[in-house]
Amino acid sequence: MTPRELESYLHEHIPLSAAMAVSVAEASPERVVLRVPLAPNINHRETVFGGSASAAAILVCWSLLHLRMRGAGLDARLVIQRNTMSYLAPIAGDFRAVAALDDPAAWSAFTRTLERKRRARITVSALLESGGETACRFEGEFVALAASSAASRA
């Protein structure tokens, strides 16, 4: 999936990404980078609204897992279960959200568990960067439910 295809997918299936004016700078199973402008995500202090920063971090991690699952032929519903966000500095301009897997072994365990148990969890990290500095650190636990499991719970 190209960056443009991922961006179109996100805007169509996750409308908040369009409202936030998120664009996809890089999209591969190894790394996803989103660009997020300040203007539609501004708060009363003329910095990025914390909810927008959190949404961008969840979105970039979800996108990375979506691309990896798609590339591996895994058909599953992917949802965030829990997360933590450390806000290190205010973001006073456009920013980037960057996600890459920290531990390749975790991916192997995740896919084996999903295939065997039809449900699996994985933790993914992201950084939000602005002006060449890290402004936020994110860690999220995502759960995948195999398509047949997801359909039976719907």
Q: Where are the domains of the chain?
A: 3-153
What pLDDT sits at residue 147?
83
Query: How confident is the prediction along the chain (154 residues), in pLDDT tens digits per residue?
Result: 899 999 999 999 999 999 999 999 999 999 999 999 999 999 999 999 999 999 999 999 999 999 999 999 999 999 999 999 999 999 999 999 999 998 888 999 999 999 999 999 999 999 999 999 999 999 999 999 998 644 444 4
Q: What superfamily in CATH does domain 3-153 come from?
A: Hotdog Thioesterase (3.10.129.10)
CA angle at 51 for the pair 34 and 87, rounded to the nearest 5°: 80
Closest-CA residue to 80 (of 62, 67, 98, 106): 62
Closest-CA residue to 21 (of 5, 8, 36): 36
What pLDDT sits at residue 153?
45
What pLDDT sits at residue 152?
44
What pLDDT sits at residue 24?
98
CA 110 to chain centre: 17
The separation between the first and the last C-alpha atoms of the chain, rounded to the nearest angstrom, is 27
d(CA 37, CA 152): 39
